[in-house]
A and B are shown apart, each in its own frame.
Chain A
Amino acid sequence: MAPLKVLVGVKRVIDFAVKVRVAPGGHVVQEQGVKHSLNPFCEIALEEAVRMRERGEAAEVIAATVGSRQSQDALRTALALGADRAVLVELPGAGPEQGAGPGAGPGQGAGPPLVAAALAKLVEREKPQLVLLGKQAIDDDCNQTGQILAAILDWSQGTFLSRLELDPGSSSVRIQREVDGGLEQLRLQLPTVLTADLRLNQPRYATLPNIMKAKKKPLEVQPLEQLLGGPVPPPRLRVLRLEEPPVRQGAQRVESVPALLERLAALGRI
């Protein structure tokens, strides 16, 4: 089987270690001056694609994202982690700092239906045999983009991957998925859309020489309207209100079980 062309979808999100705060107004979270990085599941997807290329199973790894101009840092990181080239599908209008842009999903990005539509157009253009995504983004937890994309393309899909193997000589992949009941083994015909789960691999760290080299790799910027070949559809979701969880009240200690029952009764709980 000839080495594959692999498209990896990635997303720039607030770093997992940051304490996220709701911005004044109650519609969006604070993003100014807050550390952002590649979504962890996207990193895992990218790592899998890069390992395939290192094993000779893939010929080219293209990293793509749908977002504002700032998403370029995420793509530079993807290039430093081993992608060969990158494509930014740029959202029109204001960046996330100024509030939700058109096509806003429940987070502050484009939302799965729009991202899937954009990736589908890229697939038409680039003709990869394999699309790899993270299973979900850690800001919106949607877990939808891969599935919607597979439906648009009418391709097979394998989600929550914990193992991926190319069937030598034939045009299929063997995967293992983590599902509620345990582990599921499937064989899928190429082309296919796969989404990566936590245990698929442990992503490498970017090294200085690779960060340097990444600056020279091609990074293309494509306005979303141009890619879709028409106006960007209006947002399907509107955020009504965003709240932080209520501040925890101090616990109360009681000395005995009867005292506990008394207290619960007084609170009207029993």
Chain B
Amino acid sequence: MSLRRLLGLGRALGRRSCCSKSPLPPNFVEALKAVVGTSNVSTAMAVREQHGHDESMHVCAPPDAVVWPQAVGQVQELAALCYHYRVPMVPFGTGTGLEGGVNAVQGGVCFDLSHMNTIMELSVEDFSVSVEPGVTRKALNSYLRDTGLWFPVDPGADASLCGMAATGASGTNAVRYGTMRPNVLNLRVVLPDGRLLHTAGAGRQPRKRAAGYDLTSLFVGSEGTLGFLTLATLRLHPLPEASAATTTAFPTVQAAVDCTVQVLQAAVPVARIEFLDEVMAGACSRFSNMELPVAPTLLLELHGSRHGLAEQQQQTEEIVRLNGGSNLAWAEELEERERLWAMRHCAWYAALALRPGCQGYSTDVCVPISRLPDVVVETKRDLQDSGLTGPMVGHVGDGNFHCILVFNTQDKDEAQRVHAFTERLGRRALAAGGTCTGEHGVGLGKRALLLEELGQEGLDTLRSIKAALDPHNLMNPGKVL
């Protein structure tokens, strides 16, 4: 077996099954050390376990070795080495994903790219900057704070920006500023065999382009299955002159979601509009020591110039009142707004705190806005009928919401009910013309739903592209496809 691998034979003929693993070839670890230095390679169990899971509840699958490349040249050398010996490769940023994207289900080498953390090519006039995988979104925004610009995509966690590009991340600001896809102008990709690819050409960041197939968009959301994203050129936005945020409680879930739809249809350029059902509102309130009424709640934030903001506030107040929402108390100072959003960002932990000792699983469906009210209401009913703890939180402005299912994985009956519920929810979203994953990615858990969503032709096309770029299925095998 290992001889066949050393001679590079055998792989081209068949695909590995999802969870088969082969040990590393002999002297392979020494070869890795020769590229990055002994201190940048580890086979210690604790380190491997740390790199074998993310924030999801997918079982930890440690890689066989972890490496820390210091520069893109080293990434290329390491990739070429792994490619030659047919060793699987898994890119690793901050490990804050939610779909088991970094779990090394076929073993192999985990490339921890966090040591490559340079911010370069900042152009304030062109509103663009390039970042390596070790740069997180908060680090970038801190760096930019004197320039009047920011990078608005905010998935909650302080994630690696290249990691966010790899998963096609989104977040609370997407309703106004977009997800990662429209905000990535160029990517420097190390392909599985070690070749370097600039998806929009080396050193280019035009704001728009029509030159050839859109490779940048192909790699955004590829979840580490097509190559290593070692540099992302990002589109920056001007910081809003004025911001105001508020919460408002509604008598019913329907009213809250209807209000959202109406705010969007009134073309109020809302920056963030987030929904919490009464369970989530109660949990967040308790967890963050804030006094929210236990009722379906919307959290809204508006951005604009001073005058524009006042206008937006007025329009929003009218629509909220029409839907029976409680009075709005706008928070304009940074501290208050941050408190509010910190509470929202702790939703995951607040949900877990409802049942200490249990695990959490987050669904991630996204449907057209027009179908949002009935999908949400039906899902809530399904939750109650199934007797599950599943507080709901969502970026309703995008038609995207999450049920954070908190359950005891050891209780087979409950686990079965959770599984059945998530399948029904996925199918409900697909039937409503939506997607099974709005922002978290397919990862390990949603591959079956991907077939239903795209159809056989869709999936076959994805497989053709994968085979063209990664014929030996070495890049993050077992994910997406």
Given contacts A15-B143, A37-B146, 4 further A-B contacts (CB under 8 A): A37-B145, A207-B241, A209-B148, A210-B148
Give A193-214 as 1s and 0s: 1 = Cβ < 8 Å from B's Cβ atoms: 0000000011111111111000
Say yes or no for A35: interface residue by CB 8 A criterion: yes
Cβ-defined contact, B239 with A205, below 8 A: yes
Cβ-defined contact, B239 with A17, below 8 A: no
Q: Specify which of B240, B333, B334, B338 is in contact with A207 (CB 8 Å cutoff).
A: B240
Contacts of B265 in A (CB 8 A): none
Q: Specify which of A37, A201, A206, A210 is in contact with B335 (CB 8 Å cutoff).
A: A201
Say yes or no for B458: interface residue by CB 8 A criterion: no
> Closest 10 CB pairs between A and B?
A208-B148, A208-B238, A202-B334, A207-B239, A211-B148, A202-B335, A207-B241, A205-B145, A77-B146, A207-B148
Q: Is the interface on chain B under 10, 10 to 19, 20 to 34, or 35 or more residues?
A: 10 to 19
Q: Specify which of A201, A206, A208 is in contact with B145 (CB 8 Å cutoff).
A: A206
Smallest CB gap from A209: residue in B? B241
Contacts of A206 in B (CB 8 A): 145-148, 239
> Which residues of A197-247 have CB atoms within 8 Å of chain B's CB atoms?
201-211
A contact residues, total (Cβ < 8 Å)? 18
Shortest C-beta distance, A263 to chain B (Å), equals 19
Q: Specify which of A80, A202, A208 is in contact with B338 (CB 8 Å cutoff).
A: A202
25 A-B pairs in the complex with CB atoms less than 8 angstroms apart? A17-B143, A35-B143, A37-B145, A37-B146, A38-B146, A77-B146, A201-B335, A202-B333, A202-B334, A202-B335, A202-B338, A204-B334, A205-B145, A206-B145, A206-B146, A206-B147, A206-B148, A207-B241, A208-B148, A208-B149, A208-B239, A209-B148, A209-B241, A210-B241, A211-B148
Shortest C-beta distance, B393 to chain A (Å), equals 25
Smallest CB gap from A208: residue in B? B148
Task: Kindly state the separation between the CA atoms of A38 and B145 in the bound complex, as whole angstroms.
Answer: 11
Q: A17-B139, A17-B142 are in contact. Are A205 and B338 (CB under 8 A)?
A: no
Shortest C-beta distance, A91 to chain B (Å), equals 22
Contacts of B68 in A (CB 8 A): none
Say yes or no for B407: interface residue by CB 8 A criterion: no
> Which residues of B135-157 have CB atoms within 8 Å of chain A's CB atoms?
139, 142-143, 145-150
> Which residues of A63-114 have CB atoms within 8 Å of chain B's CB atoms?
77, 80
- A interface SS class: loop
Smallest CB gap from B336: residue in A? A202
Task: Kindly state the separation between the CA atoms of A111 and B147 in the bound complex, as whole angstroms.
Answer: 28
Q: Specify which of A15, A203, A204, A207 is in contact with B238 (CB 8 Å cutoff).
A: A207
Which residue of A15, A80, A208 has the most chain B CB atoms within 10 A of its CB atom? A208
Shortest C-beta distance, B308 to chain A (Å), equals 12
Contacts of B143 in A (CB 8 A): 15, 17, 35
Shortest C-beta distance, B131 to chain A (Å), equals 13
Task: Kindly state the separation between the CA atoms of A171 and B78 in the bound complex, as whole angstroms.
Answer: 69
Shortest C-beta distance, B220 to chain A (Å), equals 26
Give A23-39 as 1s and 0s: 1 = Cβ < 8 Å from B's Cβ atoms: 00000000000010110
Task: Kindly state the separation between the CA atoms of A263 and B147 in the bound complex, as whole angstroms.
Answer: 54
Smallest CB gap from B141: residue in A? A205
Q: A17-B139, A17-B143, A35-B143 are in contact. Are A205 and B238 (CB under 8 A)?
A: no
Task: Kindly state the separation between the CA atoms of A162 and B323 in the bound complex, as whole angstroms.
Answer: 41
Which residue of B139, B145, B146 has the most chain A CB atoms within 10 A of its CB atom? B146
Task: Kindly state the separation between the CA atoms of A211 and B145 in the bound complex, as whole angstroms.
Answer: 11
Contacts of A204 in B (CB 8 A): 334
Contacts of A207 in B (CB 8 A): 148, 238-241
